[in-house]
Structure 1
Amino acid sequence: MNENLFFINTYEDFLLGNLENLSIDKNIGTGAIVLSSNNNKYIEYGIYTSQVINLKTFKRLLVSWNCETPKGTWIEVQARAFISYYDDNKNSTYEWSDWLSFGKWGTHIKRSSKSPDSHLAKISTDEFIIKGNYTDTASKIQIRALLHTENTNVTPSIRQFVISYKDNTPRLKSIEIPSDKIIDVPSYSQYIRDKNIVSVICSPTSITMLLNRRNENLIVEETAWSCFDYDYEAFGNWLFNVAFASSLGYESFVEYGNLKSLKREIYSGYPVAVSVKYTNDINNLEYPYIENAPITTAGHILVVRGFEKKDGIDYVVVNDPAGKSNESVTRRYNLSEFESAWHRGSNIMYVIHDKEVEINNSRIETSLELKNNKENLYSVLVNDTYLDLSSDFVKTILITYDNGLTFEYLVPYNNHYLALENKNKCVIYIIGSDGFTYVCNCDELSY
């Protein structure tokens, strides 16, 4: 337990729960649950159920998971809470809620939340919420994970669960913050990306900034489609965003934060992404005002890079992806104004720590085959197979030059071919709905 966080992430932790058709692999991180095997083949289905976990009373709760899900595998994470409420006769009653699911997650499936509802609790996309009035609270939690494989040669693995809950502790009104503690983070604007999704990718753009500072070299759209929730039909599922970071080997989780936890991360050298609601219109009374903010937003994710003091006033230094250019992303927000906007955003933090395990990325090398010299039409080959370039499969096609400094987006010709002009030293990224990014390095394209 750490403040409002509870971790399950070691061999000994997993032993405290119940393992059905599962084993614990000591060679993955500090221990990870995997499907058991029989005659060198993995069992198709397994269930992990945690011990009962005692917490302070809470109304809202998040469960993050760190896992690897090779092609053909996926997981589902569920939770139930022990809830205190008053029945119809005003009698104090205690009862376990139903098991509620955070959805089906995998890096190579159409991952989806479920938003289930029961008489005591519900999950709203990514938050477990106790229903009823303010006196209806929970004090215990159990989590359950279902592991699946369609390919008995591979297994999913889960190396960490993190529970974060929101209790009734008053907000910290004053805390000493480190002045002039600023962390280098690359600056990416969401508004110069694929025009079909620019207005809704603040979350994966922020995740990309956090990961690329660790030399991951991700494309924003690559992150976006790896986080996309096909039930919610959006890119902003908090749990899916950090699960994607974990799929690259990083310890990551979502936390209900405060200034103390924000200071903890920045002081330790970790920038964080946070959820905010704000306006840049001082006459707009619906949302907290932030001077120098680029937009008015009812829900937004940005990166906090550090703290700065100027003329006796405390500021947070942020990379706000709502800036209309990469150069305008880095901004300085008054700490008090920022805190109000963050509070309206439920004080959510995306925390990404160090890499725990080495996991192969989901990129596949391809080659081009000339189909029509006159029109410069090319097919894309993966080994000896033509890649499906139809809109049913392809999410985004990006061609970059100058080591990624300049780029443009392509639409396949007649759903089959790439129409390429004479370009040298370019790289083509084709982001598929199967969770893979297909890459063609073209050092010298001649036509």
Structure 2
Amino acid sequence: MLKNLYLMSGTDAFTKGGLDNVALTENAVCLEQTGGRYVLYGCFTSPEIRFPAFRQLTVSWNAETPKGTVVEAQARVLVDGEWTGWLTLGKWSPYIRRESLHQEAAKPAYVNGDTIHVPAGRASLAQLRIYLYTNDEQLTPLVRLLAASVRPVDWHWEEAEPYGRLLRLPAYSQQLRDPVFAKSMSAAVTLASMINRWGQDALPEELAWGMRDYALGDCFNYAFMTALAGGYGYQAYRAYLDPASVWQQVKAGHSIGLRMHYAANQEDAARLGLPVLPGAFATGADQCMALRGFELENGQVYVLVNDSLAPTDRQAEARYPAKEFWAAYSGEAVIITGKHPGEDEGHPIRRRAGLRALEQLGCYLFQSAEGEDLPLPEDFEGTLACTVPDGVAHATTAHKAFHYLSRSEEGAVRLPPELLSQAGRLTVYAINFSGGGLVGEVHTGN
């Protein structure tokens, strides 16, 4: 285990923590029960964790949070011999409007989004706790993983080994996704690559809505990214990794996403103070890339990635020279080690529905299996889209060409005339703010 990474998962590990109105179930922490009813809130607290001296701390958690339940991760750090107060990384559930905390820089520590910063001095210890809440006495959240990683003050990077290794991950371009997320889609697209390699078939838009940070209106919160992956049943956490440690993760076959800061040209480099990444499609001042491995060619080491700033899915399978790539790498990574069978009920799902044509041409109303109309609410927040048959066998649904739609005044989905004139079967999606939603089919043309 890396000295700057702490992972707590499994029943044996959780027995080492403090339980307050919570209990241990199989490989998870849940709310305590009294008379067959769950208490409304409880808290699990980790032991004190010793790290190399640090000024930045990230926290990760994996939890199942059925609708009506929430978890809230917190941490405190020991700075120059004194403990800070407990700092929150935000409440989490796909079913709520998640908001990260952004505090003014202050001593001894403060929160900026998904990271705790120590602006002066050095921190040496940390402690984690996670609150579990429910408003339904028949439901409880389940916490399956709690993790922390620090960026050491004296961090000497080791270079990655110069060997070839290829992981097969589907590649997607964020340029082709819902324009609502055009500039903040890289983490969601990366997550889609990382979990779809195991057959998940998630759409980047579903993940973008599921991890959206409403404090900033974007999808750059990496704590929410790993929490969402945990809801899909994956062990996912964040860590500060040097290139050698990144190589070890790839060698083990894990999915890994890297946080990058780079310029595509000298002009942007001078303006933003970023290193140039030769051959990059566009400047990525804060960009996430899914790592596919390493390649050796004529003595040169290349890093293989899925670069979502590419204009097409095919072009997103890119490679960059290792020296320049590591100069652009921030040191922050998201790791997914695989899926745990039977632990994937913590995320909203896509539900099949019918579609009823309205008198207004091109407008279709979703219907339940019982024939009940399901109009989209007036304040609908989400993505409306459809795919058209193209005769191509796609590796994942997200590889299909998506057309983005609008809502009619009646709460129906409005299809444009150019799609209605094509003969075939259109698949229509209504993805809501939680990342779940409805999917149905419309037969068009002759």
| TM value normalised by structure 1 | 0.90
Please say if 1:121 is aligned against 2:101.
Answer: no
Partner residue in 2 for 1:156: 141
Partner residue in 2 for 1:5: 5
Where structure 1 has 5 or more consecutive residues not aligned to the other structure, the ranges are: 85-93
Partner residue in 2 for 1:382: 368
Instruction: State the AA in 1 paired with 2:112.
Output: S
Shift, 1:383, TM fit:
4.8
Cα distance between partner residues in 1 of 2:323 and 2:150 = 24
Shift, 1:282, TM fit:
3.4
Instruction: State the AA in 2 paired with 1:150.
Output: N
Selected match of 1:299 from 271, 277, 286: 286
Cα distance between partner residues in 1 of 2:158 and 2:37 = 56
415-424 or 280-289: bigger deviation? 415-424
1:391-406, aligned counterparts within 5 Å? 392-402=379-389, 404=397, 405-406=400-401
Instruction: State the AA in 2 paired with 1:251.
Output: Q
Instruction: State the AA in 2 paired with 1:313.
Output: Q
1:334-393 Cα deviation digits (max 9, x unpaired): 100000000xx3x11110111124323522222122332x62432112355543424622
Partner residue in 1 for 2:276: 289
Change (3 A) 1:17 1:271: closer
Partner-residue secondary structure (3-state), 1:199: coil
CA contact 1:100–1:116 (8 Å) conserved in 2: no
Shift, 1:212, TM fit:
1.0
Partner residue in 2 for 1:429: 429
Cα distance between partner residues in 1 of 2:38 and 2:21 = 9
Partner-residue secondary structure (3-state), 1:350: strand
1:283-432, aligned counterparts within 5 Å? 283=267, 284-285=269-270, 286-342=273-329, 345=330, 347-358=331-342, 359-360=344-345, 362-372=349-359, 375-383=361-369, 385-390=372-377, 392-402=379-389, 404=397, 405-414=400-409, 416-420=411-415, 421=420, 424-432=424-432
Cα distance between partner residues in 1 of 2:243 and 2:103 = 32
Selected match of 1:243 from 199, 214, 227: 227
1:40-55, aligned counterparts within 5 Å? 40-55=36-51
Instruction: State the AA in 1 paired with 2:129.
Output: R
CA contact 1:63–1:162 (8 Å) conserved in 2: yes
Shift, 1:434, TM fit:
4.1
Instruction: State the AA in 1 paired with 2:368.
Output: V
Shift, 1:173, TM fit:
5.1
| TM value normalised by structure 2 | 0.90
1:130-279, aligned counterparts within 5 Å? 130-132=118-120, 136-172=121-157, 174-179=159-164, 181-279=165-263
Cα distance between partner residues in 1 of 2:158 and 2:11 = 39
CA contact 1:292–1:333 (8 Å) conserved in 2: yes
Where structure 2 has 5 or more consecutive residues not aligned to the other structure, the ranges are: none
Partner-residue secondary structure (3-state), 2:102: coil
Partner residue in 2 for 1:91: none
CA contact 1:109–1:435 (8 Å) conserved in 2: no
Instruction: State the AA in 2 paired with 1:252.
Output: A
Cα distance between partner residues in 2 of 1:398 and 1:174 = 44
Partner residue in 1 for 2:72: 76
Cα distance between partner residues in 2 of 1:39 and 1:12 = 26
Please say if 1:95 is aligned against 2:82.
Answer: yes
CA contact 1:177–1:263 (8 Å) conserved in 2: no
Partner residue in 2 for 1:14: 14
CA contact 1:125–1:232 (8 Å) conserved in 2: no
Instruction: State the AA in 2 paired with 1:36.
Output: E
Instruction: State the AA in 2 paired with 1:149.
Output: T
Cα distance between partner residues in 1 of 2:79 and 2:406 = 52
Cα distance between partner residues in 1 of 2:40 and 2:11 = 22
Change (3 A) 1:63 1:357: farther
Partner-residue secondary structure (3-state), 1:59: strand
12-21 or 227-236: bigger deviation? 12-21
Point out 4+ residue stretches in structure 1 off by more than 4 angstroms.
444-447
Shift, 1:40, TM fit:
2.0
Cα distance between partner residues in 2 of 1:196 and 1:150 = 32
CA contact 1:42–1:152 (8 Å) conserved in 2: yes
117-126 or 197-206: bigger deviation? 117-126
Partner-residue secondary structure (3-state), 2:439: strand
Shift, 1:116, TM fit:
4.4
1:198-243 Cα deviation digits (max 9, x unpaired): 1211110111111111111111111100010111321010111111
1:92-136 Cα deviation digits (max 9, x unpaired): xx211010000010011111212346631011101111122xxx1
34-43 or 94-103: bigger deviation? 34-43
Partner-residue secondary structure (3-state), 1:98: coil
Instruction: State the AA in 2 paired with 1:119.
Output: K
Percent identity, aligned pairs only? 27
Report the count of equivalent residues: 425
C-alpha RMSD of the superposition: 2.0
